[in-house]
Structure 1
Amino acid sequence: MTVQFDRHGRGFVVELSQCGVEGITTHWGKFISASTVTAHDLHPNQRHRLGSLGPNSDHWFRFDDGNSPMVVADTLCAHIDEAERWWANS
């Protein structure tokens, strides 16, 4: 799981991914061990953004639109089941 913050505003995305204990080899041939791999190392079809509607869909958790950080945190927590389901089916 990675968190990427918006450099232009107050928002972030949470991306999920997973790989086996053997690590991964990128499409250009670079080996990345399981202990150092990040979600961004995997192909986009091997990761999921929490809150998105499906593959190749985007979702940002925003707190620059009047929502308090607590409301954004509650919204993020509401997606924990989504993360569990994605990992279970990947």
Structure 2
Amino acid sequence: MSLEKDKMIKSLNEIFIPELRNRNFKGSFPHFRKTENGKTNLLTFQFDRNSGGFIIELANWKETEFKTHWGKLIPLNKLTAHDLFERKRIYPNSKSEENGTESWFRYDQNKNLSVEDKFELISKNVINRIPIMEEYWNE
């Protein structure tokens, strides 16, 4: 894992993950879930292959268990957004959708900012996307 990726994860854990915990999400990086009222909301961080960026994937599951197409049963406390076919991607801004990894949350850019500022700004931008996440989870 790259040093920058480690710093990005550390910043997300310090700044964004407490916001998830306040919304009753459980799990550990990169997979989080909340099950309430018969519905499981999922959030997974996916980093690009070369590091430098990430995207957030959301999913909802309304059943009491999940069975893969090959028959494996995954308990809800282990279910991730990547297990499901129907997912929503969260981008840093609404104009970014479907433009490849260039449109992801990029921490390999903004070379003019201090390292700490760069990661903090990105983590705060993730927090700013929470209303979009909640809208999807509440569908």
Asked whether 1:49 is paired with 2:98, we answer no
Number of residues paired by the alignment? 85
**Is the contact between residue 23 and residue 37 of structure 1 (CA under 8 Å) also seen in structure 2?**
no
State which of 96, 119, 130 in structure 2 corresponds to 1:80.
Answer: 130
Tell me the residue number matched to 1:33: 75
**Could you tell me the TM-score, scaled by structure 2's length?**
0.52
User: Structure 1 stretches (4+) deviating beyond 3 angstroms?
Assistant: 56-59
Identity percentage of aligned residues: 34
Tell me the residue number matched to 1:4: 46
Tell me the residue number matched to 2:57: 15
**Structure 1 vs Structure 2 CA RMSD:** 2.3
- How big is the shift at 1:37? 1.0
Deviation by residue 1:50-84 (Cα, 9 ceiling, x = unmatched): 1286xx83651111111611221122111100000
**Could you tell me the TM-score, scaled by structure 1's length?**
0.76
Asked whether 1:60 is paired with 2:104, we answer yes
Supply the distance in 1 between the matched residues of 2:109 and 2:78 (Cα, whole angstroms): 35
Gaps of 5+ in 2: 1-42
Q: Which has the higher helix share?
A: 2
